[in-house]
Chain A
Amino acid sequence: MTHGLNRIMWTTLGLVFAAVWGLPFLYSVWTAFHDEIYSANFVWNAPLTVENFREAWQAAPFALYFLNTFILITIVLIANLVLCTLVAYAFVRYRFRWSGFLFALIMVQLLVSPEILIVENYLTLSRIGMIDTILGIALPYLTSAFGIFLLRQTFMTVPVSLDEAAQIEGAGAWRVLWNIYVPLAKPVYLAYALVSISFHWNNFLWPLIVTNSPEVRPVTVGLSVFATVESGVEWSLVNAATLMTTAPLIVAFIIFQRQFVANFMRAGIK
């Protein structure tokens, strides 16, 4: 009996906590779907509207921003997957001088991430004339220490006998990589891709510094420009734009909730 009571108490506590935790987000959602006049006063049966979304969509080139984010994510993801795979493969399968030192050198990026070095990276970028380009935003992130670390850990679990068998069959370095290591690491690639996509979708500071024109702005920077210009004017529009720019991630999360959580966990444990 006490056990049942305990359970009810904990359930109530948990749900109340979850509700309080969700409050800022729900308030923003509520405002986005209602007319501006309701943003100061909550009326439970106020008429719903999607007018804010339509207006926000037209007030700034969000379609372009989405396209830019999509291009940015694609570049970074492909480069990460290819480059990190090659480096991890070299570390696991070959021995060479200074390999321990080189690995330590790479891992420095986990601590000193590109955000810390915005000042000098901006100067580098302007020296090679890549300011205000999407490739310029992507450049510091093309090789990822986290990706190399994750794939190296995974490749190390590939049975040596498989590798040797393939070699006896006459497979070269590339065939071994492509037919043995890559397929066995598939779940890790998926996990890494999810983490990487959400990181670069959300990234803000570096793209803000690198871009000055709408043609190359990713969604996060576009949103901040929109929200600053309009700030204080129409909260319902700002909230609608905020939701709009995050909607793809939220929808993806709700659809892939289980995989997402599992993959985040995997990324963390390693």
Chain B
Amino acid sequence: MNKRLPFGLAMIFLVMPCALLIAFTHYPALRALMNSFWNNASSRRPSKFVGIENYQTLLEDDRLVQVLLNSTFYALGTIPIAIGLAIGMALLVNAKLPGTSLMRLSFFMPTMLPMIAVANIWLFFYAPGIGLASQILGVFGLPPINFLGSTETSLISMMFVAVWKEAGLFMIFYLAALQAVPENLKDAAKLEGAGATRIFFNIVLPLLRPTTIFVAVNALINAFRLVDHVIVMTRGGPNNSSSLLLYYVYEVTFSQRDFAYGATLTVLMVALLGVLAAVQYWVLNRKAHYQ
């Protein structure tokens, strides 16, 4: 029944909306690739073609190495923990216990807040001396920790913030998945004498797998995309210990005004996302064979 798209309608339906999308997605990506082969223009001389010079800088950039390590550690640390907590939260909220609405509110609230508000809240929480974190340490007679101000703890402190913000959102997806688990499967397992733990690991968890893949993909994109808390809480410091890739791009481009290197880093970031997408595609395909 599908008809051929008349030219006039195509212009309205597709060309205008897609032109906007391409102008701010594909065009800038290609433009970044192009600009990465040119240097910065200054008031005295226009920008000139420099070949792979920017990429040589990239390879010799020690700060970039640290930022990439930070980002990897950040993603590998926050995503599994947030997913684990989200499953726990979803099980609790789904268990029809008294006080469920209170639990749901508490778990989901951080997700509603803008990352910048979350950052302010945690900045205060971590504040040396005043913050609740150091007061709690004080109650136990432990020495105060400068959570955001020392190179050993700054990244981990940021990871706590990210987990706190994201876990509630993931909980919602798991809640939906849990409610879709057929009761008769669980009943059948119970009849066979399986305990609650067994039911969870052998029936519920495998059924949550598609949700986990969906959540993991989103979490990974978010780990790249969301650096608001870095800007507000540490500005990547001290000594780059909490700098993430997108924050580094932001800093290089908009503080140091090095647009050429910013473009080069953008190319790196898009390439990384592409590789990760390919890996995810492979994982998803593998999943299809299991079903």
Q: Are A93 and B250 in contact (CB under 8 A)?
A: no
Closest to A117 in B: B28
Determine chain A's interface SS by DSSP, over half rule.
helix
C-beta contact mask, A81-118 vs B, less than 8 Å → 1, else 0? 00110110110011110000010011011111111111
Q: Are B266 and A120 in contact (CB under 8 A)?
A: yes
Q: Are A83 and B112 in contact (CB under 8 A)?
A: no
Q: How long is the Cα–Cα vector from A123 to B273 in the complex, in angstroms?
A: 22
Asked whether any CB of chain B lies closer than 8 Å to the CB of A68, the reply is: no
Among B2, B29, B250, contact of A205 (Cβ-Cβ < 8 Å): B250
The interface stretch among B52-60, B62-70, B99-107 is: B99-107
The interface stretch among A11-19, A58-66, A180-188 is: A11-19
Q: Are B124 and A31 in contact (CB under 8 A)?
A: yes
Closest to B252 in A: A119
Q: Which of A221-266 contact B (CB under 8 A)?
A: 223-224, 227-228, 231, 235, 238-239, 242-243, 245-246, 249-250, 253-254, 257, 261, 264-265
Q: Are A120 and B263 in contact (CB under 8 A)?
A: yes
Residue numbers in B under 8 Å from A245 (CB-CB): 114, 117
Asked whether any CB of chain A lies closer than 8 Å to the CB of B3, the reply is: yes
C-beta contact mask, B87-123 vs A, less than 8 Å → 1, else 0? 0110010010111011111111110111111001111
Question: B27 to nearest A CB, angstroms?
Answer: 7
Q: Are B13 and A89 in contact (CB under 8 A)?
A: yes
Q: Are B21 and A121 in contact (CB under 8 A)?
A: no
Closest to A88 in B: B13
Q: Are A143 and B97 in contact (CB under 8 A)?
A: no
Q: How long is the Cα–Cα vector from A237 to B21 in the complex, in angstroms?
A: 40
Q: Are A246 and B173 in contact (CB under 8 A)?
A: no
Q: How long is the Cα–Cα vector from A122 to B135 in the complex, in angstroms?
A: 43
Q: How long is the Cα–Cα vector from A244 to B97 in the complex, in angstroms?
A: 32
Residue numbers in B under 8 Å from A238 (CB-CB): 120, 124
Q: Are A25 and B110 in contact (CB under 8 A)?
A: yes
Question: B200 to nearest A CB, angstroms?
Answer: 13
Asked whether any CB of chain A lies closer than 8 Å to the CB of B231, the reply is: yes
Among B17, B112, B259, contact of A249 (Cβ-Cβ < 8 Å): B112
Asked whether any CB of chain B lies closer than 8 Å to the CB of A201, the reply is: yes
Residue numbers in B under 8 Å from A116 (CB-CB): 224-225, 246, 266, 269-270, 273
Q: Given A10-B92, A224-B231, A265-B176 in contact, is the A90-B9 Cβ separation under 8 Å?
A: yes
Asked whether any CB of chain B lies closer than 8 Å to the CB of A214, the reply is: no
- Which residue, of B18, B27, B169, has the highest number of chain A Cβ atoms within 10 A? B18
Q: Are A269 and B24 in contact (CB under 8 A)?
A: no
Q: Which of B185-231 contact A (CB under 8 A)?
A: 211, 214, 221, 224-228, 231
Q: How long is the Cα–Cα vector from A77 to B67 in the complex, in angstroms?
A: 35
Among B28, B106, B231, contact of A208 (Cβ-Cβ < 8 Å): B231
Residue numbers in B under 8 Å from A86 (CB-CB): 12-14, 17
Residue numbers in A under 8 Å from B164 (CB-CB): 21, 24
Residue numbers in A under 8 Å from B123 (CB-CB): 231
Closest to B17 in A: A83
Residue numbers in A under 8 Å from B31 (CB-CB): 120, 123-124
Question: B145 to nearest A CB, angstroms?
Answer: 16
Asked whether any CB of chain B lies closer than 8 Å to the CB of A28, the reply is: yes
Q: Which residues of B contact A (CB under 8 A)?
A: 1-5, 9-10, 12-14, 16-18, 20-29, 31-32, 35, 88-89, 92, 95, 97-99, 101-110, 112-117, 120-125, 127, 129-130, 132, 135, 164, 169, 172-173, 175-176, 211, 214, 221, 224-228, 231-232, 246, 249-250, 253-254, 259, 262-263, 265-266, 269-270, 273-274, 277
Cβ contacts A to B, 6 pairs, < 8 Å: A86-B14, A89-B13, A90-B14, A95-B5, A243-B117, A261-B172
11 additional contacts (CB under 8 A) given A204-B115, A269-B173:
A11-B97, A14-B95, A14-B97, A17-B103, A113-B225, A115-B246, A235-B130, A238-B124, A242-B117, A245-B117, A249-B113
